[in-house]
């Protein structure tokens, strides 16, 4: 199942810089692992904001939930999820 996920990151201003850097490093590693596995299919940054729009390919809603709650930055995110599906006019064979 495909999901469009918008994530807005809101790290507390009083979080120590070293703590924030460590969380961001773990986030990057986890995100890149998910991309390599094909679960996190696309990621785009929103210009001028600490926000992204991503496409996830998960087995079901629970799988997506597990993936998102595994993000190290999850406690500091607002997340909006939209289930999506292949458009009948798409010429892309890998859109499911």
Alpha-carbon torsion 64, 70, 74, 75, what sign?
A: positive
pLDDT for the residue 88: 87
Enter the tokens of residue 11: 């790290």
Strand pairing class (40-45; 77-84): unpaired
The reply to whether the predicted model has a pTM over 0.85 is: yes
Q: Tell me the C-alpha distance between 2 and 95, whole Å.
A: 9
The tens digit of pLDDT for each residue in 9-40 reads 999 999 999 999 999 999 999 999 999 999 99
Q: Is residue 96 in some structural domain?
A: no
Q: Is residue 91 in some structural domain?
A: no
> What's the domain range around 52?
14-84
Q: Is residue 61 in some structural domain?
A: yes
pLDDT bin (cut points 50, 70, 90) of residue 43 is: very high
Q: Tell me the C-alpha distance between 72 and 23, whole Å.
A: 6
pLDDT for the residue 16: 97
**CATH number of 57's domain:** 3.30.70.1060
Enter the tokens of residue 71: 């993000």
Q: Tell me the C-alpha distance between 33 and 53, whole Å.
A: 18
Report how many domains make up the chain. Answer: 1
């Amino acid at each position: 199942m495909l999901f469009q996920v918008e994530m807005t990151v809101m790290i507390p201003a009083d979080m120590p810089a070293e703590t924030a850097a460590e969380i961001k490093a773990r986030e990057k590693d986890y995100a890149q692992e998910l991309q390599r596995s094909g679960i996190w299919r696309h990621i785009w940054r929103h210009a001028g904001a600490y926000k992204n729009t991503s496409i996830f390919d998960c087995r079901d809603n629970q799988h997506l939930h597990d993936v998102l709650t595994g993000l190290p930055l999850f406690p500091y995110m607002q997340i909006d999820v939209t289930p999506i599906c292949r458009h009948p006019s798409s010429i892309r064979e890998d859109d499911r």
